[in-house]
């Protein structure tokens, strides 16, 4: 059961990363940094935020890397980071996090970590990250559909009467 949790968590992070990459490839720099209002985050901010969150919760708290996160800067950015940099930073962060997750022994899942002032088990930290990543992936997909006025095709296989792919 523990191995299933760990491998599925890594798989979900990769799937969400792929969907975000798909969105970033279709957007202009202006679209990546578009905000519906001052209270809203741009897609670029969400990508920076996901990188910071994954790094802090997985790579730092579980993997033992130094915590260099500047959370306020993730939301303060206003177009300074281009799409290529966002894509490569996201890919590198997810790759590193997946490596940490894949190397966790099942016995460590109940081990405690402290992150952002919270005491959590490693299992809870991973669950938090996957859930949080999925939430912002959905926001990025929605914003991309809104800006591009097109279906991104993630579920086209479900419109067929028969299909061989399992529903994610």
CATH for 10:
1.20.120.450
29 assigned to some structural domain: yes
38 assigned to some structural domain: yes
The structure tokens listed for 77 are 């950015």
Integer angstrom CA distances of residue 113 from 61, 74, 98: 6, 23, 18
Stretch 110-129: mean pLDDT: 97
**Separation of alpha carbons 113 and 45, rounded Å:** 27
Residue 44: what pLDDT? 98
pLDDT digits (tens, 9 = 90+) for 123-145: 999 999 999 999 999 999 999 99
Q: Is the pLDDT of residue 113 over 80?
A: yes
168 assigned to some structural domain: no
Quote the domain boundaries for residue 8. Answer: 2-159
167 assigned to some structural domain: no
Q: Is the pLDDT of residue 22 over 70?
A: yes
119 assigned to some structural domain: yes
* Number of independent structural domains in the chain: 1
Per-residue confidence at 158, pLDDT binned at 50, 70, 90?
confident
107 assigned to some structural domain: yes
- Average pLDDT of the residues of the chain: 93
Q: Dihedral (C-alpha) 86, 168, 106, 100: value to the nearest 10 degrees?
A: -10
């Amino acid at each position: 059961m523990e191995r299933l949790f760990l491998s599925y968590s890594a798989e979900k992070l990769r799937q969400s990363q792929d969907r975000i990459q798909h969105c970033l490839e279709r957007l202009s720099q202006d679209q990546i940094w578009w905000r519906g209002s001052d209270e809203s985050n741009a897609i670029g901010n969400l990508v920076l935020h996901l990188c910071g969150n994954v790094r802090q919760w997985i790579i730092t708290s579980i993997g033992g890397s130094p915590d260099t996160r500047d959370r306020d800067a993730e939301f303060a950015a206003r177009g300074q980071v281009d799409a290529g940099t966002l894509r490569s930073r996201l890919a590198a962060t997810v790759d590193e996090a997946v490596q940490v997750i894949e190397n966790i022994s099942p016995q460590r899942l109940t081990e405690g970590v402290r992150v952002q002032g919270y005491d959590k088990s490693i299992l809870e930290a991973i669950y938090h990250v996957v859930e949080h990543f999925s939430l912002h992936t959905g926001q990025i997909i929605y914003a991309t559909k809104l800006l591009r006025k097109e279906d991104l095709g993630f579920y086209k296989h479900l419109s067929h009467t028969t299909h061989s792919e399992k529903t994610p």
